[in-house]
Structure 1
């Protein structure tokens, strides 16, 4: 039995989910780590893999059937994301387009917006990026300065976003912007807009990033971009509530990528420890090798369980905030520890791209910082779970 095998621990609640997991694993396994490494090395996109996932219905497994999806839930999408990553192909665009944008539009989009976007997002034929982070706002969404000013025909969007992933391959971007006028509390209500990538006044420049992944990161500029009234998602001024509705799926999806990376790393590390022989015994015989890997495996399984639990709570209509945040924290810590141990077990070979580990380092490390930092998660747990005074 493989260390990374899904049979190690029961995390699925139905035979259908187990079948989904096995089928996604088989499909992505036909592509594998070498394929993904070559795509990244060439600066290309995993278009063949994306199309295969879309054609099989996996990108839209969580989207309602009436909107072109499979009618499943976030737990099903989490399985798709984890298995894709566990096969050595962490496609972060699944987190952005189907998980964040698809979930948000399915729950808050107008009938026209759903009809225009969701079938394409579900099939993979359309992609959406998500723009919320700004250089001077960080995690404090209330401090964003990108502004939407009403006009006779709609809105004018002006401002700048930062670390926007994958806008170069997207057809449109969901943009969080504030109203020009403050409300009675002194805050500027937020709204969410669908902005076509080719809209006049929208431009973007790449960020020189250490992330070895197909999705590039960008600074995005909105220079008096004109959008219609129909571009607003969830109603003008309702952006904060709408955006927060997508945060828990984002955290679950990000945790699923991290869990998949951890599974891949532990699987590779254990295989090498079984096969590599020094002084007539496999190196896995030594507790200095086996114990850190065993601990990484335990931490991974706990992260997987809480991730699936967060997805189940969300699918049941419950408040998944605490659980989703803890899942993302646990998965981020597990992924970087598992990858670090796997690299160390390989010795010098761990630093060779041939073994498919070292080029995952910054991708795994990203999950300590994004989409929400470990410090902000600890702040959330301290105040929400423990009832401690807020520190900010």
Structure 2
């Protein structure tokens, strides 16, 4: 495994860093205040090839991989976006791009990937349900086969990006849970039009990540042609694992970039702020030590995430690394934002200094897209060999 940054990766990072600087902290604060999607930024990323960084060249992408996608997200988060930018890549390049690239038909790849790479087609994914939560195998949304179509019925919750998504990846049961021998069988993936009249969206009011809307989704007798099925009927769970591991990796990249941004804002403030005497507060160990520890935690999370991304690109098992990186990064990024607010005192609570937005947004990712508790369950069971506790 080689973590040396190539010349191509350096050029890519320099390019996206410039875009991040052009759309800096003030841009994101304004979008957050207005609860608006970042259309201008997304368009610029599409024009410059960053949305399709992991899409094969024959479908309009750059033809690189998950490693490069993590680097793009880190730079954008560090440049002012914060953790919300991870959601943008999660929704379209992962839920749409990764799923279709790995498991879609050639026709689906030709139809969707080129437009997606150019920033002209957005996706979302409808997986989570009110009564299933983290137990995705217990979803009750059904897709019933009727000749050349499937009829989908069900309810989803906390589905993000629905307001700007052209396509929705719906996870549904084509065979009831009670009728399969293996609980992972009988789940299928469908690409549908988000604006279909059979789909009703109900926005959820929330604390942060205001640039990405979240909804409860009601699906009533949605007719979907069989050509919109991803891969084979009933095999969707195995496809979904590739998507969910990628989701963890891009989430972690956004968290690392957010932690780096919060840390830098805190350091800049601590160097300049003078209280009681002529010494900047950054000279005091009570300020220095927490920030130094956060720096170490972020570096370790980044290394683990690069390992996960490298394994992903090599098509090797990466679930443990992706989960561990996300666990540590969520803690470190939240600590970074919280400590930055503490360093700034009252100013940290003011929107002018930006930390409050980063702090609000980053808190989500100790829960989503997978909670700390479920990651610890995974490590306990899969890596320590302990009995399943749930």
| Structure 2 length-normalised TM | 0.96
Q: Would you say the 8 A contact 2:95–2:169 is kept in 1?
A: no
Question: What residue in structure 1 maps to residue 202 of structure 2?
Answer: 205
Matched, 1:257 2:254: yes
CA distance in 2, matches of 1:360, 1:216: 17
Counterpart for residue 382 of structure 1: 380
Question: Aligned pair count?
Answer: 383
Query: Alpha-carbon deviation of 1:180?
Result: 4.5
| Superposition misfits of 4+ residues, deviation over 2 angstroms | 10-13, 180-184
Give the C-alpha shift of residue 183 in structure 1: 3.5
C-alpha separation between the residues in 2 aligned to 1:21 and 1:341? 27
The Cα of 1:32 is off from its aligned counterpart by 0.1
Instruction: For residues 353-386 of structure 1, give each alpha carbon's deviation from its aligned partner in whole angstroms, at most 9, with x where no partner exists.
Output: 0000112222111111100001000011111111
Following superposition, the deviation at residue 160 of structure 1 comes to 0.5
Which residue is 1:78 aligned to? 70
- The answer to whether the Cα contact below 8 Å between 1:127 and 1:172 also exists between their aligned partners in 2 is yes
For residue 249 of structure 1, give the secondary structure of its aligned residue in structure 2: helix
CA pair 292-11 structure 1, distance change in 2 beyond 3 A: farther
Write out aligned runs for 1:161-240 (5 A): 161-181=156-176, 182-185=178-181, 187=183, 189-240=186-237
Closer, same or farther: CA 51–245 of 1 in aligned 2, 3 Å: same
- Does 2:15 align with 1:19? no
User: Residues 67 and 106 of structure 1 are in contact (CA less than 8 Å); yes or no, is this contact kept in structure 2?
Assistant: no
Rounded Cα–Cα distance in structure 1 between residues aligned with 2:233 and 2:94: 23
The match for 2:303 among 299, 302, 305 is 305
Report Cα offsets for 1:67-109 as digits up to 9, x if no partner.
2111000000111111111111132212211123211110000
Q: For 2:376 and 2:255, locate their aligned partners in 1 and report how far apart those are by CA, in whole Å.
A: 18
**For residues 138 and 32 of structure 1, what CA distance do their matches in structure 2 show?**
35
SS in 1 for 2:332: helix
Structure 2 unmatched runs, 5+:
none
Given that 1:211 and 1:363 are in contact with CA atoms closer than 8 Å, whether structure 2 keeps it comes out as: yes
Mapped pair 1:282 → 2:288: no
Alpha-carbon distance between aligned partners in 1 of 2:332 and 2:12, rounded to the nearest angstrom:
24
Contact 1:11 1:304 in 2 (8 A): no
Query: Residue 273 in 1 paired to residue 270 in 2?
Result: yes
Shift of 1:63: 0.8
| CA separation of 1:184 and 1:48: change in aligned 2, threshold 3 A | closer
In 1, the alpha carbon distance for the partners of 2:167 and 2:231 equals 17
Secondary structure of 1:62's partner?
Answer: coil
CA RMSD of aligned residues (A): 1.3
CA contact (8 A) 1:277 1:283 kept: yes
1:232–1:250 Cα change, 3 Å: same
The Cα offsets for residues 39-77 of structure 1, whole Å up to 9 and x where unpaired, read as 121122211111111100001101111221110000001
- The structure 1 residue matched to 2:141, chosen from 146, 152, 171, is 146
Q: Report if aligned partners of 1:77, 1:99 keep a CA contact under 8 Å in 2.
A: no
Matches of 2:267 and 2:4, distance apart in 1:
24
CA distance in 2, matches of 1:364, 1:44: 18
State TM-score, norm by structure 1: 0.95
Report the alpha carbon displacement of residue 145 of structure 1 after superposing the two structures with TM: 0.6
Tell whether 2:235 aligns with 1:241: no
